[in-house]
């Protein structure tokens, strides 16, 4: 099974592709879709960029499904709204190619890789590295996406 994990953000959206036979998990690719912040680029242009890049990744890696972090309570309503927009285009990209999308709360993602539901980002990153046998960890957004991709496995 091949899973594309997505950690949505309006400026940096992490992605991670994990393949598994049910016992062994292997990272295929992980990275970050970074949106350029130019004054002339409005929200619609940034969202289109995220959508296009995610569509390219789905075409390249042919995942069997998509795992995405579920909506969570945010301290800043404006930030939550921007996150919701980015998440919406990720859901649209998956729906356009007929992929099943599963959403997981952050605490479930953390527990699924063998940690505590309250583990901090560095603990989650170390667990992801151990589970996938990585010698070096990708950027934070990409590591989070790999953790999300591991959740349904």
Enumerate the active-site residues: 7, 69, 141
Q: Specify whether the CB–CB gap between 131 and 113 falls below 8 A.
A: yes
Strands lying side by side in the sheet with 12-20: 25-34, 12-20, 2-7, 65-69, 100-104
In angstroms, rounded to a whole number, what is the distance separating the alpha carbons of residues 120 and 115?
A: 10
């Amino acid at each position: 099974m091949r899973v594309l994990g997505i950690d949505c953000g309006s400026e940096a959206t992490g992605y991670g592709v994990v393949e598994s036979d049910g016992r062994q998990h292997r990272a295929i690719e992980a990275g970050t879709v970074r949106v350029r912040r130019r004054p002339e680029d409005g929200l619609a242009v940034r969202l289109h960029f995220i959508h296009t890049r995610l569509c390219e990744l789905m075409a390249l890696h042919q995942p069997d499904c998509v795992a995405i972090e579920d909506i969570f309570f945010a301290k800043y309503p404006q930030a939550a709204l921007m996150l919701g927009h980015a998440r919406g285009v990720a859901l649209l990209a998956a729906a356009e190619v007929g992929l099943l999308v599963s959403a997981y709360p952050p605490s479930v993602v953390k527990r699924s890789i063998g940690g505590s539901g309250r583990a901090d980002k560095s603990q989650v990153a170390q667990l992801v590295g151990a589970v996938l046998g990585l010698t070096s960890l990708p950027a934070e957004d990409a590591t989070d996406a790999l953790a999300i991709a591991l959740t349904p496995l």
